[in-house]
Amino acid sequence: MQPVADETALEQWRHVHNVVVPPAAMSLDEVRERAGRYRLENAYVGDVLVGCSTVRPPEGEEAVATVIARVLPEYRGRGYGTALYDGGLAHARVLGARAVETCVPTADEDGLRFAGARGFVEVERYVLDGETAEWVDLRLMPCCGRCGDTTIPLQSCGNHMWAASRSS
């Protein structure tokens, strides 16, 4: 993973975003503006661009960060999304996140499966004003308890994830 740091990287991030999320296609100026607010990264295998990610910093009383991993369709199922997601979670942790959310268009069945497999559950469905695409906001839910340790925020116990202490 490489942070988006120059015009070439911005255009590459934009390319992946627009391929994976066509209902929210962005101009290069919009990506530049977003790069000023969020952490944007690109994922490469060698010199080949395979994906990108966004981490929105924690907000509100719950300190909710948003972590979004995107992988070009031809590179899915090879672990690149997991690497992007894990890197995003680590960065959210550094920023002080106590909870994590993501958003996925309902048309992205792969994205919804990916989020569900990592412990995200649907919080809300909506259509933005003036748009037609339906979106799903999902939140990373507390671990199922199989690992025995439910007090460390934003940690993984293998296949089980949790976002906040279950004891609080």
How do the pLDDT tens digits run along the chain, 168 residues long? 899 999 999 999 999 999 999 988 999 999 999 999 999 999 999 999 999 999 999 999 999 999 999 999 999 999 999 999 999 999 999 999 999 999 999 998 999 999 999 999 999 999 988 888 999 999 987 655 454 433 334 444 444 443 333 222
- Looking at residue 157, its pLDDT comes to 43
Instruction: For tokens 């259509």, name the residue.
Output: 127
- Looking at residue 156, its pLDDT comes to 45
Give the span between the Cα atoms of 95 and 144, in whole angstroms: 25
Q: Where are the beta strands (DSSP E) in the chain?
A: 2-3, 39-45, 48-59, 64-71, 99-105, 120-127, 134-140
Residues 139, 100: contact at Cβ < 8 Å? yes
Residues 129, 146: contact at Cβ < 8 Å? no
Residues shown for the chain: 168
Q: Which of 55, 40, 50, 54 is nearest to 9 (CA)?
A: 40
What are the tokens at 103? 């958003």
115's CB contacts (< 8 A; 6+ apart) are 102, 104, 138
